Amino acid sequence: MATALPPLFVSHGSPMTALAPGAAGAFWQRLGRAIDAGWGRPRAIIAISAHTLSAQPLLLAAARHAAVHDFGGFPAALYRLRYDAPGAPALALQVQALLAQAGIAAEASEAGGLDHGIWVPLRSLYPAADVPVLPLGWSADASPAALQALGAALAPLAASGVLVLGTGSITHNLRLLGDFSGRGPAVQPERADSAAFRGWFAERSAALDWAALLDYRRQAPHAALMHPSDEHLLPWYAAAGAGGRAHAPQRLHADVSYGALGMDAYAFGPQAAALAAALAAALASAPADAHASG
């Protein structure tokens, strides 16, 4: 592969996105096509999800994975969806070694399974489920700086065709959303505090203001309201670490569902701007009805 894959962060949203993809699903489809066209199909994906947590870094190195329906109260059709993907046990050994070089101890397990933060976006990114996936569990007690260091240890893999994918949510306070089990409308006016937080993150990213981003809980507007706990934002820092500090994070997609569940996506590293440009060009050339759907 001529150039390194840009690490990504996607906001995975409600599990209902798997049934009603909306704007986010349309974006994920474009994103998968843009990566394939510009960089080639990833040889594997390291997935760092807000829903795969462990006391210390843990690699789920099963030979095969299936979708885990780790949620309740949704329509029956959602529980019938599958996403069976190959695992990456050999890659797990390589990741273990890279983390050890960075002073980060990681265990490997033969266990498998893709939580909804992984399989829901992957159903749109790579619907054939033909890309091996290696989930990397991490501690919800970790700091943004610790997740950035974790991601930095994975940076060498991007040059060999491995996609580092952080998945969580740019805003995540379910108490603000009401019922989002598929019975209420996903498209609602955005709360002002949600818009302020998302805007701050985009502005500080464009300014390469890592000091502010790492200190977001004190500096970002409405940080504690948007993230009562920050496990859904921490994967952003892991993907950012894999991309390095020299290049500004690029917001690839800006959207919100249920009025306060941010669906923003970011790319990192030296190829992030090229990916953003490719996506913008693809959207500009799409038919008008595709714009309306996302």
Which tens digit of pLDDT belongs to each residue from 89-109? 999 999 999 999 999 999 999
For residues 95 and 197, give the distance between their C-alpha atoms in angstroms, rounded to a whole number: 33
**CA–CA distance from 273 to each of 25, 151, 183 (Å)?**
21, 19, 38
Q: Which of 245, 247, 50 is nearest to 145 (CA)?
A: 245
Q: Domains in the chain, ordered, with CATH? A: 8-289 (3.40.830.10)
The fraction of the chain above a pLDDT of 90, given in percent, is 85
The mean pLDDT value of the chain amounts to: 93
What is the model's pTM? Answer: 0.94
Question: pLDDT by residue (tens digit) across 140-157?
Answer: 999 999 999 999 999 999
- Judged against a pLDDT cut of 60, whether residue 2 lies above it is answered with no
Q: Are 268 and 15 in contact (CB under 8 A)?
A: no
For residues 176 and 3, give the distance between their C-alpha atoms in angstroms, rounded to a whole number: 41
List phi, psi (to 5°) of 193: -70, -35
pLDDT band for 291, please (50, 70, 90 cuts). very low
**Per-residue tokens: 136:** 């990397």
List phi, psi (to 5°) of 290: -70, -35
**Per-residue tokens: 27:** 């974006």
Mean pLDDT of the region 254-267? 95
**CA–CA distance from 231 to each of 54, 64, 147, 166 (Å)?**
12, 26, 10, 11
Place of tokens 């080639």: 40
Question: pLDDT by residue (tens digit) across 197-256?
Answer: 999 999 999 999 999 999 999 999 999 999 999 999 999 999 999 999 999 999 999 999
How many distinct helices (H) and strands (E) make up the chain? 12, 12
Q: Which of 42, 49, 114 is nearest to 84 (CA)?
A: 114
pLDDT band for 287, please (50, 70, 90 cuts). low
Q: Which of 177, 69, 173 is nearest to 114 (CA)?
A: 69
**Per-residue tokens: 95:** 């990741």
Mean pLDDT of the region 76-84? 95
**Per-residue tokens: 72:** 């309740």
